[in-house]
Structure 1
């Protein structure tokens, strides 16, 4: 590990951070400092066994964040709105990390960002978990943090959990309840993020200062459903639900999700070609489904 530049990875035991740690360790160009709130949990111990330096930090604890960044060449930064669903808290966390990255002289920060939708739409649409990250992006640029922002598309993994197919009244057919109509929706597996971040960190001159929209596939909900049907052998269709009807569903965060899908209607910039350049092995939705079809056997 001696002589290698250190990359601090926040959220190292989460989906995004975990993918980044795995890819950096496999590439072996950088030493990896994996940041987690609990260094004793099994996932953290596994990272240490794999060769990462595992350190404890809480995004609400400024001293621990600074310690995690001290001496690092670069960082991967991700914050989790869904943990607290507080826009202001996420902005505070993100700005605080940006301040420390600047003060400590980090040379390349890859930030898991998103658009400031409220600003882009002149206040007509507000997507809290996008807007907070967009504000942090803007702040980081203002204080001249050498940053690349990666903006992920809709996670394919959501179709296994929050947005999994729902059984229809006939007991045989399933439907995807996603209010996109016939507008294509970009998607990507979060597991494919790591090699992308690794490529960006290895090419700072090419990517520092850029906002990169990531996507592995641009499909309509009907096309997602057709692929799911083909792979699982089940009949899965697009429910054709409207945003107005979707907003009336009863689950936590439904308004936030409705606003997100309305922003997706505007076709935000997500670049499949660049995504494949950064990670040639990125999975199409069909490949993702083939790898995860067991998750649908108990539908």
Structure 2
């Protein structure tokens, strides 16, 4: 079904409409048999991606959703029945900024009296690990926003995104003998809840909105499958015909390989350690979040088959 212009259809405001998650939400709602009006928020409506989305019938609005721009945010959320919000830590690497922007979005949605606020949250690695891993800022910041949202009294649905399949496109390193290695500071049996975010994240948001089992006060864990790093490489090798093997490296080697500032490298190191010891979603079971989807999400193997590896596994 196409996106509706019917004034009686619920209005869904989508933050980050040209990004992976926001764009996926729009596409999933456009595929629904229910009517939705959609307002996509972006910082530049002239971008080709924004213009393409507009051709689908989405009302595109130019707005910069920084913490000090609440007035513009209020105008953007005006009349919304449902709002989807997401923050982007990796754009600025600033935990305090992410928290401030997330809280502003929550407060704006509450002030707009939305019937349902859909938030792309994550677990607190610090809390789940009881303080052992206290530097995973991009998890902890989202958890802080979640706490704020719950206390605000807004009608909240949390849709946590699993590990992006696309994050592993540039990981393997070519060795002198022609094989490829993936070096990480954890064991090969570390489990990841993989999701093809562009193709499938919105599918889980749609489930959360439309399925009576979910809605306000619930949580959806967006993961197509839970798979070990070792099995990911087995499937990658079989599908591409390239030999890709796992190599456990030291913490120091991993941090150096990130080529990132120390605090960012430390965050990534602790993230992987947290995944191995406590799990991406803590001890939460992902299977129930896949039971009411409108189609089957991409597995890791599906992603590998469709991705372009030509410049990676040369």
Q: Same fold (TM over 0.5)?
A: yes
Match of 1:260 in 2: 271
| Aligned 8 A contact 1:20 1:197 in 2 | yes
Tell me, which stretches of 5 or more residues in structure 1 are unaligned? none
Cα distance in 1, alignment partners of residues 250 and 225 from structure 2: 22
Displacement after TM superposition at 1:296 (Å):
5.5
Higher mean C-alpha deviation, range 267-276 or range 97-106: 267-276
Displacement after TM superposition at 1:187 (Å):
1.2
Tell me, which stretches of 5 or more residues in structure 2 are unaligned? none
Quick check: 1:216 aligned with 2:224? yes
Displacement after TM superposition at 1:203 (Å):
3.3
Cα distance in 2, alignment partners of residues 176 and 55 from structure 1: 41
4+ residue runs of structure 1 moved beyond 6 angstroms?
none
The aligned length equals 296
Aligned pair partner of 1:132 in 141, 161, 178 = 141
Match of 1:233 in 2: 241
Aligned pair partner of 1:280 in 267, 286, 295 = 295
Quick check: 1:184 aligned with 2:191? yes
Displacement after TM superposition at 1:158 (Å):
0.7
Higher mean C-alpha deviation, range 202-211 or range 40-49: 202-211
Would the alpha carbon gap of residues 81 and 102 (structure 1) be closer, same or farther in structure 2, given more than 3 Å must change? Answer: same
Alignment of 1:1-299 (within 5 A): 1-2=5-6, 3-27=8-32, 29-60=35-66, 61-126=69-134, 127-161=136-170, 164-170=171-177, 172-181=178-187, 182-191=189-198, 192-203=200-211, 206-252=214-260, 253-265=264-276, 266-267=278-279, 268=282, 269=284, 271-295=286-310, 299=314
| Aligned 8 A contact 2:102 2:145 in 1 | yes
3-state SS of 1:239 partner: strand
1:7-26 CA-partner distances (Å, limit 9, x unpaired): 00000001111111111122
Would the alpha carbon gap of residues 296 and 221 (structure 1) be closer, same or farther in structure 2, given more than 3 Å must change? Answer: farther
- Normalised by the size of structure 2, how large is the TM-score? 0.89
- Normalised by the size of structure 1, how large is the TM-score? 0.93
